Amino acid sequence: MSSEGARLELGQEQADDWWEVEALFDLCFAPGREALSSYRLREDVKPVATLCLWLRDETGALVAAIRYWPVCVAGACALLLGPVAVHPTRQGEGLAGILIRESLSRARGAGWQRVMLVGDAPYYARFGFARLEGVIMPPPTNPERVLGFELVAGAWKGVRGTVTRCED
What is the rounded distance in angstroms from the CA atom of residue 85 to the CA atom of residue 30? 12
Question: pLDDT-derived band of residue 29, with 50, 70 and 90 as boundaries?
Answer: confident
Q: Are 149 and 107 in contact (CB under 8 A)?
A: no
- Tell me the domains of the chain and their CATH numbers: 2-165 (3.40.630.30)
Average pLDDT over residues 120-138: 96
**What is the separation of C-alpha 144 from the centre of its chain, rounded to a whole number of angstroms?**
17
Question: pLDDT-derived band of residue 35, with 50, 70 and 90 as boundaries?
Answer: low
Q: What is the pTM of this model?
A: 0.92
